[in-house]
Amino acid sequence: MILNSHEYVDAYRKYRYEKVDVPLVNDSMTETVQDIMKKGGKSYLKTLPVQPAKVYKITTNETSKKLVNDILKGTVPSKPAGSFDWMYLKPSSVEYQALASPFATRWPFAYQVTPQEVPEDVRLAKRTMYRKARSFGDTSINLNSVPKMKLKFIGVFDPQKLDISKDPLTELPMETYFPAKAQWVMDKNERPVNPVRDVKPTNDPFDFLTKPPSMLTTLDAAFKLRGDKAISAIRVNVKGVEAMNATSEKKLQAVAQEIEDKTGLITDVTLGSSPQLALTYLPGLKNESALGWVQQPWIKLGSSMAIFQEAKVGMSGVIASVIAVALVYVFSSNIILLYARKKEFAILLSLGWRPRQLSKLLFLEATLLGTFVALISWTILGSFWLTTDHPIALSRILLIGLAGLLIYWGGTLVPMTLIRRIQPFESMRSGEVSKGRRLVCSQSIFGMSLNQLVTYWQRTLLSIVAIALPTSLFIFFLFVTFRLKGVLYATWLGEYVALEVGTMHYVAMAVALLIAILTTMEIMWQNVNERKPQLAVLKVTGWRDGWSRLLVLTEGMLTGLFAGMIGLLIALAMIGYVYNQFPINELLFLSVMLLIPVVTGVLGALLPAQRAVRITPNAAIGSVAVNTQVTERRFKLALGSIGIVLVVGVSSLFLFASNEDLSQAPKQTQATTPNVQTTGAKLADMKQNESKKTASLSQTEIDKKIKKLMKKGMVQTTPGGKRVSNQFFYVNPLIETPKELNLKEKSGYRFVTIPVILDNPSEDEGAYSVYRPSTYVITALDGTEFLPVDYVNHNEKAWKNSYQHFSPHKSRVDLVYQVPVDQKVFVLYASDEAFPKPTTVKIELEGS
């Protein structure tokens, strides 16, 4: 055997020792004990002077450490020759019933443990328990079929050093080495337990939580102990599976199918298994109150694999929103440049160019710029591919590089259509021909800014969309980070799963907001250029530079405010959809997040505002065309360069965010909040079934005391009771006290003789085990204990030296007790290494 070096049960025992000085009789311990018994046993010892008592508290952890230390040093105490250890219990599972969850939104699935009642013909102290009493042999617990072991410890193992996943999203059922997890969350009346308490395992093999197996042995030994059914499960690690991805899942499924085809065994693929929190109700056993509700992480096979695929899709959605903002940026950039080049295109049309040729010109420009972006992306990704042992598929590198080209193509489609509307006479005009709109009176900077946004509402809408998309996700992620400590809970696959909101999410949103700033900047720059005459007139009438700057900044602020309001509504909708609630308590915090889009709009308006300040009346009136052409060329060069950098950043972000090609991912069912929940009625606490109800209060008290005393034994019998012949140890009917003992009578007392039998014919000749019937006490209902005053040994070959039983001989020892005549009911307690289960025997005396 190798022993588990960890002990998971927190229990202890206390021992109290009192030292008395008793002279040896004939230098014999056996005769000394017999002399003490004749003098009254324990009652006699109590009359002797004692030294101060010593109390020792021994914990399970201390005992485990001592045994581990002895094994490692080779100093494990040897047992007597022929001794052995019993293995009479079989593993037993807990039976569950479905139950309606008291809080379905938090725990959609709930169950309750089905209590087990011990059959009448099974002699166990506990009559109700949470697990079935599964023992070797028939239902009477025939001890002749109980395996007996001679343990040989050769080392220890540390389960903490096992190479298993520590990630909660890829957790495996490891109850072979660690105890099951459970937390007490509600009492039986569904009142929350605050704080939540961990439920620890016990040494009771029939309890709800038991400790894991503490010893491991060889397959040969297992087959000798359990026969042909020694193996219940085999865990196989598949070579080459290092990561949780679609390729690994496909390989595992193929191996599992091959195992099933060749062996007929049932296989489970545990890749990506994850815990799903479920409630478990523990009803009360007989004479015990219900514990209430515990929360357990049930292992759901393969759920994390599907969650992983959906999480990739979710992250891809974040990347898609960034790409959408990038498309808006490229689109708005092309639109603005189209307006700025109206004169150029009008002149080309007047010289004989066709609109189709102008569209091709725009498409060619977009292709050249997009190709340049793709080349930069391929250079970066190629260097990464060469220096990191080829972690990226070449096909993915090709697709990522083409993403920039597709963005520029998509952003030029609408300008290619609008260019057909330009007429040659446009060369004689400046800026965009449009009619101003008045939403409010233009008597203040605020009113003028609002009217300007309404006038160019198409451009304003582009800016609002570009800011609102990343703002909504940014607000949502901030809510998760500060309110939920960075853990994103989602109702994927009908359960709550946790995903960390990490740096990648904020990088994506930061890139999107930067693109939104550039989009706003570009649109407002063009707006300022087209309003040069208006701004020049305002300066002539006395406007200061600060007012002109404030006018443009106000437009940027309003754009960000409108975008923020839309983004906030989208974020609230996302929170409501994911968590099924409206975040009332967090509404103020989320509203403060409106500063993000407002600041974004203001930042986008900084350069256009500075441009507005530099406009002079003579420049606006005398040389509009020349200044516009120079300005737009510089502006186009600057924004084009920034756009290249941003597209490369988006491509890299997409690369690191998705580790697998989504086209290769297995199809998953749509993730929705579970519609199916467990149902069922809660079991009532088990009551003690009384065969009779006596009117006498004293009889009821007697019954309770008898039951309490009988509970000490795992086997509970009566002298000559049912099926006692199937036990190694049992008690025959009471007999008359042997007269040859010449026992001294005592007033108010009488003698009781109890024949105890030990029969173990299956052991080899000469093997012995510890057997001490002369120390077995009987206890009266008032708690008084009595030791034997004498005994008769009917087989000297079977029982020797007052503590050794030799096989295969049958031992019968008649124990003689001296008890008060007014006591009629006693309980005998017997426990030794010679038989596996502590036994209690109810002794009922007749007469007085």
| Cα separation, 462 vs 326, whole angstroms | 11
Half-sphere CA count of 148, side-chain side, radius 13 A: 16
d(CA 242, CA 237): 10
Strand order in the sheet with 768-770: 768-770, 804-806, 799-800
Which DSSP string corresponds to 770-799? Answer: E--GGG-EEEETTS-EE--SEEEES-TTTE
Tell me which residue has tokens 């079991």: 683
Q: How far apart are CA 290 and CA 191, in angstroms?
A: 13
| DSSP calls for 262-312 | HH-------TT-EEEEEEEEE---TTS---EEEEEEEEETTHHHHHHHHHH
CA distance 827 to 25: 31
CB 83 within 8 A of CB 832: no
Opening angle at CA 212, ends 207 and 215, nearest 5: 130
The label of the residue with tokens 């031992």 reads 811
Token pair 């609109």 is found at: 355
Q: How far apart are CA 663 and CA 393, in angstroms?
A: 13
172, 165 Cβ separation under 8 angstroms: yes
Tokens 């337990």 correspond to 193
Closest CA to 322 of 525, 477, 471, 459: 471
DSSP one-letter code for 548: H
- The answer to whether 515 touches 325, Cβ cutoff 8 Å, is yes
**Helices within 670-721 (DSSP H only):** 697-710
Q: For the chain, how many residues are written?
A: 848
What residues have CB less than 8 Å from 680, skipping those under 6 apart? 97, 98, 99, 100, 112
Q: How far apart are CA 301 and CA 413, in angstroms?
A: 48
Kindly report the number of other CB atoms within 10 A of residue 801's CB atom. 8
- String of DSSP letters for 22-75: -PPBTTBHHHHHHHHHHTTTHHHHTTS-BPPPEEEEEEHHHHHHHHHHHHHHT-
pLDDT for position 306: 54
Residue pair 836/718 in contact by the 8 Å Cβ criterion: no
CB 136 within 8 A of CB 147: yes
DSSP 140: T
Q: Assess contact for 410 and 330: CB atoms under 8 A.
A: yes
Strand partners, 21: none
Query: Residue 320 corresponds to which amino acid?
Result: A
Quote the CA–CA distance of 725 and 74 in Å, as a whole number.
Answer: 41
Question: Which residues partner with 99 through β-bridges?
Answer: 110
End-to-end Cα spacing for the chain: 55
**123 Cβ contact list (under 8 Å, min separation 6):** 140, 141, 714, 715, 716, 717, 723, 727, 837, 839
3-class DSSP assignment, residue 299? strand
Residue with tokens 């049912």: 722
- List residues bridging with 184 in a β-sheet: 197, 294
The dihedral over CA atoms of 634, 637, 640, 641, expressed in degrees to the nearest 10, equals -120
Model pLDDT, residue 72: 93
Q: Could you tell me which residues come within 8 angstroms of residue 338 by beta carbon, excluding any fewer than 6 positions away? A: 345, 362, 415, 418, 419
Residue type (1 letter), 569: L
Q: Are 839 and 729 in contact (CB under 8 A)?
A: yes
> Is the Cβ–Cβ distance between 835 and 714 less than 8 Å?
no
Residues (pLDDT < 50) of the chain are 310, 313-314, 430-434, 486, 489-498, 623-628, 631, 653-675, 689-697
Looking at residue 667, its pLDDT comes to: 35
485 DSSP assignment: T
pLDDT of residue 663: 35
**Contact indicator for 562, 601 with CB cutoff of 8 Å:** no
Q: Report the half-sphere exposure of 498 (CA within 13 A, side-chain side).
A: 15
